Structure 1
């Protein structure tokens, strides 16, 4: 597809996050999608009785802003309510071979899917098919694999509602498999593994209300202005109240620096800004465990110094303080603790509520400052200064994103952050806690209603009792093991509830090759994407209603529910007319497949559920009564329903019965054999300002000053010179791991950038072909899209002027 293309332009952006840049970007997307009345629709976004954003998972506040949406939230809405259509005429015009040459952006920007389609091998085009015929044929294909149900994968994207997700997991389990990977597998599975071991819950402990009294926020591995911009309102309010923010991130992202609130007339008229971070520590990619170890080591040293000072006589204290002057690392000279003999750590909390402190303290004492500095690329004095500030703060949050979780040691990194919070009792008290920032809008909620490959996380006995079937008890495929099974030929069918799996998965060339050999691919989707162009032998496109569209069923207009990053359940009501009268809702499509593929079962009221979604919510509550108490009655309550999280009350559902200090087994978050190897850089992937996950809204990353391209690699100027390259030069990146498969991305333009030495950055998903399936978290199987060892090669690619 041709469109307005131009040569790349690289120029620094001097503006803040938010401000007029945000307004211009929103205006552009609304014009491009031909939705001039979108402002009326956006007025209901994230309001208590409105619809929940289809973009990020931040919560719906009880007292919302007049415009409770961000730049990327507005773009996501514009793309869903666009006037553009991908209809029968579109597919009559284009073969899939032709569409395979389109850019990802061009596929999605073409518009909304309008009718069910089946791929026709004779013409290489999608052709219309009736809904019932599609269901019958999909059911026939799935029944043909019934001798081994694990030949089918049921994948869910993070946008599907609680209602659709509950039905989808039930469909898979009655079919006979726990193959239920979802987008959480690719982002925060490290959180879901780490937190239960550490504090006995799989979600964060922070609520929106906690931001009203927090003293210090430690913010790690997340780009707030791109991925969850509405958080900036909580940050700005906390800063004005006197709270501090310390950011630990490889890049000085603009949202971590300066913010102008577009909803404040005063700030917009006066061009005033809020400084978000009090300091930004640019940790090396993969260096977060080392940085957190340094902070914890400093705290333990300060506490030890206080004990020593208390044991010393008043005369000896002056000598002790003199010793700290001679040994700059001893307790940060610190002597505030030493002079008063006041303990730095919360030993009452540690004694009553934690397990494993002695071993963790010994780990901290033994940690070598030289190794900490080498791996993190942060100075000892900087880390000690963070420890001093942390020690002086009463209420502290640890907030983090995928820059932490998507490492080979992602689980251990999350647990190190928990360790830091436990040292001063910052779990289970108001204004403090652990806060994982989830990506897609209901990715956390899907897990809560059973979208998981782990059978031990689902009340299988309860499902058996309610629906009269024998649930499978063996573990299903994760994203990584599912891709391996596809490559090995063990998987024959892939049913996708949303998402763009082949673009989000690692090892893209190998996965796409395996994908095209599948017998069956089924996509429940709103828009066209790469995973629909690369398809199985038998392929169906089943277009569904979007969340913002009015969903009328037998009992009238329906509402759905979802869970935010902050473990609160919210209702959502559509408000615009459907893009096509032929669209079906996600619950209706799932029910259609289930009725065609599964044996008759009077205990599963598929048709009744579709007619009235409140009956699905009653079933959800019956399955998890403590978690979903009165979901139907209260889901539109301002602020939502707070999910019970035991750790908020300092109840620890762990094996030890307490919160656990867990000692890491490695200091570097990547693979040790590729660390510090000559000529190897540690690559991190990230999103641009103009995208959400795999949806590319445009080719402008204004915060990083890149326009017109996504084929760039951000490098430290010293690394560029050391390897003999120049700014603007085209290079190739090759994965520096030898597993028998060459992985290379060609034609990336070098952009000098403020990133630590030995590190580089490139966009997701353009750089994901460089990620081997074997490069994943060892505990959670999350693909490690960070700390990917790469070599930079001189490219033979020639950039030609676009058509």
Structure 2
């Protein structure tokens, strides 16, 4: 039995160029989008609406294949307008796939749901704002509203959004961070006093080794591959820990290198590639620490530890108590493999560790990330060029949203700065994250849901629960560029408010506007679209938020500031003036964004300043979990006699977050389908399954709810035994709403307890 033979032997190269061209042609705005690609991530252009990877200072081409897909997806000539909604009822649209919905084109005018006809119908912007304001102003309490935010929203829109929500009276700011990197922010804040990465892009040129944990950059952050390729070709040793063998982390051919583009050559990326069990990363890193102590004690930086850290002795005792047998069982790796990784780490002067959602969507994610920090503290790999910590964020401004105050648990210092500047009292109590918001919606404690971008319905876990929760909102307001599932979960009243895309020209009363974003390296840079907006009835996100605030609170000066809401809408520089007065690190904001490639927000931990209670970096000595399995997986073993697997959900190569650009996953050899499940061939043999069989997947949980998805094609793949992988949102129904990470409440989408059964249709065919 063999693994998927359709998987390519390298990533990138000519197929990436061909895919880019295909998507540009499908947009029917090929000439315009070629111009757009030349502006992507350029100092006088716009920031890519895709991932948050940082921009190089040099180079004509600053986009990747998936960035080109994002641009073509956004800048299309297809329109979703009144004629479209007259043709389709909401009930009819609900039967369509997520791919079909978003492929219909750009939303072109504001629409309101008519419960009697089950259709969306056009309305004026004035009426839309009146409806929202009237509903908000008649709630019993401001906490009956939820203000959700996608990581796509600009700094200016996010700042205005949180300011409006807080003046309105709530801290209910669930956002996409709650479902992805929340564990990173919590773990880093606890350990080093700041919830962001400590490195910048240039550090990758100075690293002796780069460790990549739980991340597939070839699909999710393709521009990162250029940094890894450059590092590998310079002699840097890249060590990968990833549950699946991903081709981009094995061999990568740069589409910008003529030799690798046209020939069979490619750059070997990973010096070592390890495939731990799902949830086994903490044990693997603990094993590396143990190996460093036992075999490479010279690499332990005693001076750094004594000067900059707290809790070292207690932590070391915890490591010594950890048995190698437990490390091997939990990690799924041998002692020899872990020692091999530890040797690379210990013998490298400068080490960067990167990670993504392969680490953050587990029950023990916070402990796992703190263990990576422990390894860096042990060897002093912080605060110097080429060394540090790098959580690789997803959406283009997900980090900036949090910096701007999109946070259900704002710090006292943040609220105090706002109160002092505006001379206004703001709510202090914690609001709702995504988990709490969905629970409150399900229980009908929430009346209004406003979503600034994103697709909450497709992003959140436990689809049946989530769909019912969102439908319970008495008013569902979606500020969007494309039609998606969240627009269709309606019962009483709903509004679709179409906004500009990142590629489009934003002209207000004061002239052409810039927005700003913050990338994964804390670089803040300006973005200016150039193309004509898709419709005269679309507004910018800033405009929409400002007018909702103006209609709801009155268009008057905001506290003791000199500006009204609409004055901020007319000139975004005035928003940046407010940011410079109230957000740390943004002094002279308007001047700083004139710098090519933007400016860097100072990272205290990178300067060896620790904003923790002890004023030191903290070793955290959590023991390895009793079991790497999530609670429902542990319970599952007592509920069924069937073989229980651990399933992770992931993206295909034709996908970014919940947006599906196409039905292929070229790097895993999948073409024209998405309902597939990747399985180790030996596991399949044990279940009498053949490559291509169709199975149903049922998750096992102790809450009595049956969660099952049907008709998934079995695909043999190089993955540890006992582990499975499949795409989301198709497998979101399997993730129980209460299966989440400790402290983070992030869905445990990488540790779903499931059993497989041949589909009835497959059995009938075989018979």
Q: TM class, shorter-chain normalised?
A: over 0.9
**Following the alignment from structure 1 to structure 2, what is the Cα–Cα distance between the partners of residues 254 and 83?**
34
Question: 1:600: Cα distance to partner?
Answer: 5.6
For residues 122-137 of structure 1, the aligned pairs below 5 Å read 122-137=116-131
What is the aligned counterpart of 1:58 among 34, 53, 62?
Answer: 53
Which ranges in structure 1 are unaligned for 5 or more consecutive residues?
1-8, 307-342
For residues 252-651 of structure 1, the aligned pairs below 5 Å read: 252-303=245-296, 343-456=298-411, 459-599=414-554, 601-603=556-558, 605-624=564-583, 626-651=584-609
Deviations 1:369-421 (A, max 9, x none): 11111111101001011111111100000100010011111111111111111
Please tell me whether the aligned partners of residues 556 and 565 of structure 2 are also in contact (alpha carbons under 8 angstroms): no
TM-aligned CA distance change 1:731 to 1:270, over 3 Å:
closer
Q: What is the TM-score when the length of structure 1 is the normalising length?
A: 0.92
Partners of 2:13 and 2:253 within 8 A in 1: yes
Q: Deviation at 1:559? A: 0.5
What displacement does 1:687 show? 0.3
Residue aligning to 1:742: 706
1:536: Cα distance to partner?
4.0
* Aligned counterpart in structure 2 of residue 14 of structure 1, from 2, 8, 16: 8
Cα distance in 2 for partners of 1:169, 1:674 equals 38
Further displaced range: 159-168 or 534-543: 534-543
Alignment of 1:130-279 (within 5 A): 130-145=124-139, 147-279=140-272
Range with greater deviation from structure 2 (702-711 or 444-453): 702-711
Query: Where does residue 726 of structure 1 map in the other structure?
Result: 690
Residues 113 and 527 of structure 1 are in contact (CA less than 8 Å); yes or no, is this contact kept in structure 2?
yes
Q: Is 1:32 the counterpart of 2:6 in the alignment?
A: no
Task: Tell me whether 1:121 sits opposite 2:89 in the alignment.
Answer: no
Highest CA radius of gyration, 1 or 2?
A: 1
Q: Please give the per-residue CA displacement for 1:705-756, whole angstroms capped at 9, x wherever unaligned.
A: 1111111111111111222322222111111111121111111111111110
How many residues were matched structurally? 752
- In 1, the alpha carbon distance for the partners of 2:688 and 2:702 equals 24
* 1:410 and 1:669 in contact (8 A); partners too: no
Give, in whole Å, the separation in 1 of the partners of 2:632 and 2:463.
Answer: 23
Q: CA RMSD in A?
A: 1.7
Distance in 1 separating the partners of 2:373 and 2:484: 38
Q: Counterpart of 1:790 in 2: which secondary structure?
A: strand
Alpha carbons 1:11, 1:706 under 8 Å: kept = no
Deviation at 1:461, TM superposition (A): 2.0
For residues 155 and 245 of structure 2, what CA distance do their matches in structure 1 show? Answer: 36
Aligned counterpart in structure 1 of residue 659 of structure 2, from 688, 691, 695: 695
Structure 2: which 5+ runs fail to align?
none
Partner of 2:37: 42
Distance 2:129 2:413 in 1: 28
Deviations 1:301-331, CA, capped at 9 Å, x for gaps: 125xx6xxxxxxxxxxxxxxxxxxxxxxxxx
Q: Partners in 2 of 1:744 and 1:673 — Cα distance?
A: 15
Distance 1:673 1:164 in 2: 39
Higher alpha-carbon deviation: 740-749 or 492-501:
740-749
Give, in whole Å, the separation in 2 of the partners of 1:245 and 1:799. Answer: 45
Separation in 1 of the partners of 2:412 and 2:29?
43
Please, which moves more after superposition, 413-422 or 733-742?
Answer: 733-742
Instruction: Kindly state the Cα deviation for residue 128 of structure 1 after the two structures are TM-superposed.
Output: 0.7
CA 1:182–1:386 in structure 2 vs 1: closer, same or farther (change >3 Å)?
A: same
Extract structure 1 runs of 4+ deviating beyond 3 A: 665-670, 675-678, 797-801
Judge conservation of contact 2:650–2:728 (CA < 8 Å) in 1: yes
Answer whether contact 2:8 2:668 (CA < 8 A) is retained.
no
